[in-house]
Amino acid sequence: MRGEPAPYDRGMLYRAVRAINAVYGLAALGFFIAAFFIAFALTVVYPIVPLLMLIASIFLLVFAVTLWRILKAIELALARRQIARGKCPVCTGELLSIETRAKERDRGLRMVCVRCDRMYAADGDEWQPDPDDEIPAREDPQRGVA
């Protein structure tokens, strides 16, 4: 019998997707650089192979970007689900809303986890404040409004 998966399993899935997304860009770059050197090494021996690889790389790039967008969408959807419950997607700690100047600029409300201090935007993405973003003190979440 298949029931609703436990929140713990979703947390594991979120952390797995998040870990993949964290290294995805560098891994894709490494793959294409490695492919370049393979193609370069084969230019004299089998000139047709680098030519085919060049054509294939354009389609591979489209595939890599599409896969990246899908993975990111899964990560954000899983994070939003937890954020809607007021729980940190990573550690299931309590989330507090914070007011920042960044709110006026883009994606809206920010949340900070009381346990692990990670910050999230409303769209589920982990949020790194800019140096000019004023982060109110934890003890008084309303201070930033003034």
Which residues make up the interface to Zn ion (CB under 5 A)? 88, 90-91, 93, 113, 115-116
Those residues whose C-beta lies under 8 Å from the C-beta of residue 22, and which sit 6 or more positions away, are none
CB 7, min distance to Zn ion, A: 14
CB 58, min distance to Zn ion, A: 41
Cα distance between residue 119 and residue 128, in whole Å: 7
CB 78, min distance to Zn ion, A: 14
**Nearer to Zn ion among residue 93 and residue 144 (C-beta):** 93
CB 60, min distance to Zn ion, A: 36
Cα distance between residue 89 and residue 91, in whole Å: 6
The 10 Å CB-count burial string (b at 16+, else e) for 46-73 is eeeebeebeeebeeeeeebeeeeeeebe
**Nearer to Zn ion among residue 15 and residue 103 (C-beta):** 15
Q: Retrieve residue 36's tokens.
A: 């370049």
**Nearer to Zn ion among residue 102 and residue 119 (C-beta):** 119
**Nearer to Zn ion among residue 64 and residue 119 (C-beta):** 119
